Amino acid sequence: MIFLNCLFGYLSVLIIIKWCTGSQADLYHVMIYMFLSPMDDLGENQLFPNQKTVQITFLFLALVSVPWMLLPKPFILKKQHEARHQGESYAQLDETDESLQVETNGGSHGHEEFEFSEIFVHQLIHTIEFVLGAVSNTASYLRLWALSLAHSELSSVFYEKVLLMAWGFNNIFILIVGILVFIFATVGVLLVMETLSAFLHALRLHWVEYQNKFYEGDGYKFAPFTFALVGNEDE
């Protein structure tokens, strides 16, 4: 939460401030040089007083949150494991057929060894995936911004090169043809194709970039209830 809010939550606040103030600040420049040159003056890209100090503080918190995500969890899990198995000791088992059969059927419930290196590497992988995924997944939402630009450019092209050009000929037949072409282009391209494209891109963003923040495909494979399995067990 600290990492996301100090970077992308701050960007969202900057967008709202820019809307409310009507500023011409370049937010891309603000976010890029927040990392590359945090000590430089913002100049015309300053949106509020003490913005430089706020950005340095957020950048520091974002950088600190990376080792914070990495280091504490393995040590906490190790401490919990030691507390859970404190006082336990290994006991010699009687290697009889009956005991081996019980262990095979019920599983081993003895003292499990804690692999600290494996837990640490697993947490390191998750930390790297989260940091890189937070940047790349958020940047992927720029595709919707690109679609809006393409939509506005297509609208201006159809309006200027079709409708206004047909209006300039002062010919009723050409004007009717131009209006029909403009209507079909507006409906077919801007309303149908552009809407379908925006829907598919938004659906893909929900499935890939947004859902992986909450869903992880681990665990047990789902086995639905069927009477066929019940019949096989009875046999």
- Please spell the DSSP secondary structure of 139-183, one letter per residue: HHTHHHHHHHHHHHHHHHHHIIIIIIHHHTTT-HHHHHHHHHHHH
Task: Report if pTM > 0.75.
Answer: no
CA gap 182, 188 in Å, rounded: 10
137 and 76 Cβ atoms separated by less than 8 Å: no
Q: Mind listing the pLDDT tens digit of every residue in the chain (235 residues)?
A: 888 889 888 988 998 998 898 888 888 888 888 888 888 888 888 888 888 899 999 999 999 999 998 888 888 888 888 888 776 555 455 544 444 444 444 444 445 677 888 888 989 998 888 888 888 877 787 787 788 888 888 888 888 888 888 888 888 888 898 889 889 988 888 888 888 888 888 888 888 877 777 777 777 777 778 877 776 655 5
Q: What is the dihedral angle through the alpha carbons of 172, 174, 176, 182, rounded to the nearest 10 degrees?
A: -150
Sign for the pseudo-dihedral over CA of 182, 186, 187, 193: positive
CA gap 73, 118 in Å, rounded: 12
